[in-house]
A = this chain, B = another copy of it.
Amino acid sequence: MSSKVLNVAIVGLGTVGRGTYNVLNRNAQEIARRAGCEIQVKAVVVRNLITAQEFLQNSFQPTTDVDTVIADPNIDVVIEVMGGTTVAKQVVLKALSAGKHVVTANKALLALHGNELFETARKHGVALAFEAAVAGGIPIIKALREGLTANQVQWVAGIINGTTNFILSEMRSRGASFHEVLKEAQALGYAEADPTFDVEGIDAAHKATILASIAFGVPIQFDKAYVEGISQLQPEDIRYAEQLGYRIKLLGIAKRAARGIELRVHPTLVPTKRLIANVEGAMNAVMVRGDAVGTTLYYGKGAGSEPTASAVIADLVDLARLLSSGTKGSVPALAFQHDSLSSARILSIDEVQTCHYLRMRVADEPGVLADITRVLADGGISIDALFQKEAEDGQNQTDIIMLTHEALEGAVRSAIQRIEGLPTVLNKVILLRLEQLQD
């Protein structure tokens, strides 16, 4: 870093790249007052020069040649906002190996290749910063990595995908089906043409994997995450949950349990009175419970051009402040010192201990409930709440809804198998999970 300027290259000029460029320019003075130096964009690397030039007008000449930019000794930081996990991985590896600090917003890249990338950064004595990779503009990485360092983190639970939270909010408020709302979300630009990454929980799982790592000091282990999206969620379960005092949110959960770490993404019943249950639309919120601090919550926009840019630039200012004080970095990338990572095991979903919501379609006959509750009792599963709807006129079947006390999911699944074998149980049993997320 030259004495009074941090020189950066933006690689990728999509939504986040443009936001970063715009905010760095608009708030240049305010940022310099905080950072103690100017942050100057020295290079913008793009695939398509024409559309980039339209955006940049005559203020800046973009390039397609990433290698030259990485090799340029005047560049201090490479900002990777191109997305994807193949070319992006090569670019980040090259930049780190060339001794450049890297700031990225790429959660998929970190979830899939984080261990290798952080190790490369460490070997070359540079930073790989990623505040923007989780929950957009909310400084949740900083909160976990620096703000809550006194604590044994007990759990982290977050709404970390805006698309699915928007869809769930609409499904609930209008009683609409998943597919109906998804179409509208696509028309509004809230969901992509291929929505799989969002609606099947994969994007949330990428982020939950990163949060688990910095909360508990374990390596990044995306392949061990349990991932269940919202595409199978039925409007009637949202309604029944509401009647029981719960709202259904797609949560990314990382929890310290007796025998390991739980890492899971799935639709979750949350008490309606909790703040997080009232986070609506495309907003994000992350709860963190620590043994000293108790429960904390962080809320804001989890995506979008300038909210994400806000996080990218926060990483740049951190770097500028450090470099100008003559050090290369003091906060370990994954919160814990690299030689102090824990080997705590990620548990399988069957080993997860939690409360469950069960819905069963049953024949409206004597003895049904006795049979079902017997199976549950045999499995050691105790019931916290139960209601059976009156059969509608002319129908001889109805729904039984129950909430269990905490139980091992493996035991619950075994019980469900037996229940589905009962002749009076007419459909597959709907299984959802419930978290109290106490204050």
The interface of chain A, by Cβ under 8 A from chain B, is: 19, 23-24, 26-27, 30-36, 131, 136-139, 142-143, 146-152, 217, 275, 278-279, 283, 290-301, 304, 306-307, 309-314, 317-318, 321-322, 324-332, 335-337, 340, 439
**Could you say how many copies of this chain the assembly holds?**
2
Q: Are B299 and A299 in contact (CB under 8 A)?
A: yes
- Does the CB pair B27–A151 fall under 8 Å? yes
Pairwise interchain contact B297-A293, C-beta atoms closer than 8 A: no
Known: A33-B217, A336-B34. A294 touches B321 (CB 8 A): no
- 4 shortest A-B CB distances, which residue pairs? A139-B147, A150-B313, A296-B300, A137-B293
Determine the residue in chain B with the shortest Cβ distance to A279. Answer: B275
Minimum distance in angstroms from A21 CB to a CB of chain B: 12
Are A294 and B290 in contact, CB atoms less than 8 angstroms apart? no
Distance in Å: Cβ of A281 to nearest Cβ of chain B: 8
Which among B151, B152, B307, B336 is the interface contact of A293 at CB below 8 angstroms?
B307
B294 engages A301 (CB within 8 Å)? yes
A292 contacts B23, C-beta separation under 8 Å: yes
Complex Cα gap A147–B35 (Å): 12
The residue in A30, A149, A298, A311 that gathers the most chain B C-beta atoms within 10 A of its C-beta is: A149
12 contacts between A and B (CB under 8 A): A23-B150, A34-B217, A34-B335, A34-B336, A136-B293, A142-B143, A146-B317, A149-B314, A292-B310, A293-B300, A293-B307, A294-B307
Nearest B residue to A289, CB-CB: B300
Beta-carbon contact of A299 and B300 below 8 Å: no
Q: In the bound complex, do residue B329 and residue A294 qualify as a contact, i.e. CB atoms below 8 Å apart?
A: no
Supposing A147-B139, A149-B317, A292-B307 touch, asked if A299 and B297 sit within 8 A by C-beta, the answer is yes
Q: Which of these, B23, B34, B296, B439, contacts A137 with CB under 8 Å?
A: B296
The answer to whether A306 touches B327, judged by C-beta atoms less than 8 angstroms apart, is: no
A159 vs chain B, min Cβ distance (A): 12
A34 shortest CB reach to chain B, Å: 5
Contact B33 A310 (CB under 8 A): no
Contacts of A152 in B (CB 8 A): 27, 30
Closest B residue to A214 by beta carbon equals B34
Q: Which B residues lie within 8 Å of A299 (CB)?
A: 275, 296-299
A25 CB to nearest chain B CB (Å): 11
Q: How far is the CA of A298 from the CA of B324 in the complex (A)?
A: 30
CA distance A290 to B301 in the complex (A): 11
Q: Specify which chain B residues have a CB less than 8 angstroms from the CB of A278 in the assembled complex.
A: 275, 278
A317 to B137, CA, bound (A): 24
Q: Residue on B with the closest CB to A33? A: B340
In angstroms, Cα B335 to Cα A23, docked, is 18
With both chains docked as a complex, state the minimum distance between the C-beta of A89 and any C-beta of chain B, in angstroms: 26
A275 to B277, CA, bound (A): 10
* A299 → chain B closest CB, angstroms: 4
Contact A143-B137, Cβ < 8 Å, known A290-B310, A292-B306, A314-B150: no
What 15 new A-B contacts, CB under 8 Å, besides A23-B292, A131-B147? A24-B150, A26-B291, A34-B340, A137-B290, A142-B142, A142-B143, A147-B314, A149-B318, A150-B310, A150-B313, A292-B306, A293-B301, A321-B332, A325-B328, A327-B327
Closest B residue to A338 using CB positions: B36
Give the chain B neighbours of A290 by CB distance below 8 A: 137, 310
Tell me which of A36, A151, A217, A325 has the highest count of chain B C-beta atoms within 10 A of its own C-beta: A151
Across-interface contacts of A30 in B (CB, < 8 A): 151-152
Instruction: Determine whether the beta carbon of A293 is less than 8 Å from that of B321.
Output: no
A294 CA / B325 CA spacing, docked (Å): 30
